[in-house]
Chains A and B, each alone.
Chain A
């Protein structure tokens, strides 16, 4: 079953550096690396998937949503089925770890009693239960990324989109994050990870899609 399909997708920017005829397929429970140098278009591909960007040509299909027909008010519904993780974590600095993770559930209208249960479960999954009352600035980079992953997972997404999740981390911490992503994938959540780090990918033994100058090569 295909979760994500990009068919002949192009994105044009006025300053150049868009995407040209990109094709990508991600199946259920698959772990796929999207690898390419900085500026190759990796983040744009992820943006297309969470419909933060519309393709100039071609079609993006994510689950039951299609870029040709999706209405603006359906985009939040699509994003509630995805988990998104960024290089710079994008945590809310004015609230603690628990509230950062709970935020996703509040936004989606979950019931109060379910929120606590789900947040504690996902924090245990990423190994941060004991730091649930800490503020983001009191955590290390690796811990902050774990919080971001917990936030992405708490809604039970069918796929986790990770944009350079290890980009800001030292090798040992990055390895820990990769291990966590692998564990998440073995539990059934598909992972699409964009990275420029070829060494990381080589040691992992998963399907790799290369992207260079705005075009994909499988």
Chain B
């Protein structure tokens, strides 16, 4: 009975106050667009940073005098170090090829012997793609017998660590402010609607309606506001995505769960705001 009444009353209220309902849906859509833009910026920023981190390589030069079996033994030792993801062996011959590719063949062909040492190029597992962890791993490798030198972009990682943590903290603070703003706007809207209906709420309670019974139509309205607002915001993002992807396919992406998240957030905000908004008027 509660649900039947709640659904009927919820839809009736939307029908009776079309303009208020329209305004609520637009408010929700606007709020979700702001939150959605913020989410997309965050996702894209995190993705760029993750890509940069995953490209960090440690170049481990092996003592030139080591024979193949000693190099293989070293490789096994390096692979066992915690945090090391992939180890690729670069032989002396391959090193020459790389040198030729990058700097041309003039200089290397002047020499009668190959001065380049064999090396390992290794990538790090995701949790270890940070300055401190990379430094620890590099030091561990360096201490192995037969390793000449470990080279990696230590400064770049440090810069990334410093500025990305700042950017993430800033992103988090802005995100929190945006979300709180969104919640505040939607709660206020529901509160106004509930205020306009306070006499109905009072009468319902005086004739013996339970709190759940009083809240149900408001919650349903909140649900519908969230759903329709998310649908509008979804349409907005879909068109923006088509326009942006056509021009910046490599720079910009929309995560697969974004639209589901938008609907989830819309419904959650609608319900939460309705609950908070009506709570003040229910004994």
Contact = CB atoms under 8 A, between A and B. Distances in A.
Interface of A: 50, 52, 72-73, 75-80, 84, 90-92, 94, 103-104, 106-109, 151, 155
Of listed B2, B210, B213, residue having the most chain A CB within 10 A: B210
A90 B1 contact: no
B203 A79 contact: no
26 contacts: A76-B205, A76-B208, A76-B211, A77-B208, A79-B205, A79-B206, A79-B208, A80-B207, A80-B208, A84-B206, A84-B207, A90-B199, A90-B206, A91-B203, A92-B199, A92-B200, A92-B203, A94-B16, A104-B207, A104-B208, A106-B5, A107-B204, A107-B207, A107-B208, A107-B213, A109-B1
B1 A106 contact: yes
Interface of B: 1-2, 5, 16, 199-200, 202-211, 213, 283
Query: Does more than half of chain B's interface fall in helix, strand or loop, or is it mixed?
Result: helix
Contact of B203 (A72, A75, A76, A90): A90
Contacts of A106: 1, 5
Contacts, number: 55
B33 to A, nearest CB: 33
Contacts of A104: 207-208
Nearest to A83: B207
Nearest to A79: B208
Contacts of B208: 76-80, 104, 107-108, 155
Contact of B209 (A50, A52, A107): A107
A91 B200 CA distance: 8
A50 B206 contact: yes
A78 to B, nearest CB: 8
Nearest to A81: B208
